[in-house]
Amino acid sequence: MTTEYQYDLVVVGGGPAGSSAAYEASKNGIRVALLEKEETIAQSVRTSGVTWIQNIKEFGIPDDCYNPIKNYTFCSPNNEITIKDKIPQAAVLDVRKTYRWLAEQAKNQGVDIFLKTNIKNVIKNKDGDIVGVTGTNKEEEVIFHAKIIVDASGFSSTISRAMGFVSQWKRFGVGAEYEMKAEHVDKDTWYLMVGQKYSPAGYAWIFPVGKNIVRIGVGVGKPESSVDPTEKLNELIKSKIGPIKKLGKITPIEFHYGLIPNDGLSRKTVYNNLILVGDSAGQANPLVLEGIRYAIKFGRIAGKISADAIKSGKTDELALSPYEKNWKKAIESKIKSAGKIQDRWIGLSDEQWDEELNIIKELKPNEFLDFIKADFGLIDMIKMATRHPKLVVRQLFSLVKTKNN
Ligand SMILES: Cc1cc2nc3c(=O)[nH]c(=O)nc-3n(C[C@H](O)[C@H](O)[C@H](O)COP(=O)(O)OP(=O)(O)OC[C@H]3O[C@@H](n4cnc5c(N)ncnc54)[C@H](O)[C@@H]3O)c2cc1C
């Protein structure tokens, strides 16, 4: 049996990008369906969930969805530095609670959420433009017709691939992580661990989720390294090296695994009747591969622009282009700057990492946060390179600024 549905907007993927796009579109008066292949929203967790309190407040995410962080420790093979802030500015999300809150917001706004709905293909009109999607809901075939489709399917970019617009990401990060019960957790402090023994072409982390719970993970850049992050993670946990030792007895609760694009802003994100958002659009900060805040922010913009386009009766690429202009203006120069730092970091030896940490130590908490968040464009980088009171910081930014220019 096949069931057919007709909506103004169909959003494929119930992650942060999809829920946010659906919410904002429905709020702006159109009929929206949100399609998610898993049995529940955030059934699988594929992220470490670090984000920033300023963004959490801006999005209205409730306070019980995160653990605040105010100390930022970096470990290299022979060095450890901590930048201490007076107030927490970073946060480790309760990922399930947050993603379900985002979907609940959409539902309360009138969005129809279809779970266990795996979208596999697209429907095109005679001009080759997308006008719907097809797949299965449980065992049943389903067809969704819509004026605009939002591809929020994450790394797999199912819709854009089915349209033939994109192929598999060439450069990406792979991460493996355990959520663990731990004996001694400093819930104010995160650890980033760099250098060969932690991760070749990437980093390892300890992110406290609460009083007795941490996420310990390893991320590896592909194709730069062939290392399997799960094997590396098991090795680190078994040998309890570096700051893992400080946690005392640790017991796994849950395993997380995921992929994140790292191809820069290489994709076009609007076509006739189609918008790409979140990981399917490659909207992630390449330095630490964080994309949740961009997924929510640009998801909402995609939802608003879709609703406006549908109400105006024009849903072609030109009508949707303000979306691409908007997000590019917000982050393109920042992502480029972050890409330059990432290129530098990928090439560092263990000894150079030990030195790099001595430079990072000279950054004030807000400078460090802007740096790690990639909240600086070329102009800020020039300022850091010419006016920073610390010589080593000026040297670092001069090197990065000139690289690839
Ligand atoms: C190991 C790792 C750690 C990370 N850590 C951080 C971090 O600390 N902070 C941060 O900000 N970002 C982090 N990220 C990145 C962050 O997870 C992503 O940028 C973010 O989740 C993107 O949101 P999204 O909604 O675009 O995609 P996703 O969160 O991937 O959501 C896509 C949704 O679409 C659904 N879906 C896929 N295909 C279909 C289909 N065919 N039919 C129906 N539904 C479908 C999926 O089930 C999923 O629910 C990390 C990523 C990885 C891999």
Tokens of 344: 């530098």
pLDDT given for residue 402 in this prediction? 64
Ligand 1 atom nearest residue 177's Cα: 1
Q: Is residue 384 in a domain? A: yes
110 shares a domain with 36: yes
CB 72, CB 83: distance < 8 Å? yes
Ligand 1 in reach of 13 Cβ (< 6 A): yes
pLDDT given for residue 403 in this prediction? 55
Buried b (16+ CB within 10 A) or exposed e, 11-25: bbbbbbbbbbbbbbb
**Single-letter amino acid code for the residue at 75:** C
Ligand 1 in reach of 50 Cβ (< 6 A): yes
327 shares a domain with 271: yes
Q: Is residue 53 in a domain? A: no
Q: Is residue 51 in a domain? A: no
Ligand 1 in reach of 17 Cβ (< 6 A): yes
Last residue of a domain, one of 241, 261, 281: 261
Nearest to 144 by CA among 298, 268, 273: 273
256 shares a domain with 231: yes
3-state secondary structure of 9: strand
Q: Is residue 345 in a domain? A: yes
Measure CA of the first residue to CA of the last residue in the chain; give whole Å: 58
252 shares a domain with 179: yes
131 shares a domain with 6: yes
100 shares a domain with 38: yes
Closest residue (by CA) to atom 1 of ligand 1?
175
Last residue of a domain, one of 203, 228, 261: 261
35 shares a domain with 154: yes
Ligand 1 in reach of 46 Cβ (< 6 A): yes
Q: Is residue 298 in a domain? A: yes
pLDDT given for residue 341 in this prediction? 86
pLDDT given for residue 339 in this prediction? 86
232 shares a domain with 301: no
Phi, psi of 98 (to 5 degrees): -65, -50
Can you give the length of the chain in residues? 405
226 shares a domain with 174: yes
**What span, in angstroms and rounded, lies between the C-alpha atoms of 205 and 297?**
25
CATH code of 109's domain: 3.50.50.60
159 shares a domain with 176: no
Q: How many domains does the chain have?
A: 3
pLDDT given for residue 344 in this prediction? 85
Per run of 10 residues, the mean pLDDT along the chain (length 405 residues) is: 97 98 98 98 97 98 98 96 97 98 98 98 98 95 98 98 96 96 97 93 95 96 94 96 96 97 93 98 90 98 98 98 97 87 87 93 90 80 80 76 58
3-state secondary structure of 188: coil
Ligand 1 atom nearest residue 280's Cα: 26
325 shares a domain with 231: no
384 shares a domain with 306: no
Ligand 1 in reach of 373 Cβ (< 6 A): no
Q: What is the span of the domain harbouring residue 232? A: 63-93+170-261
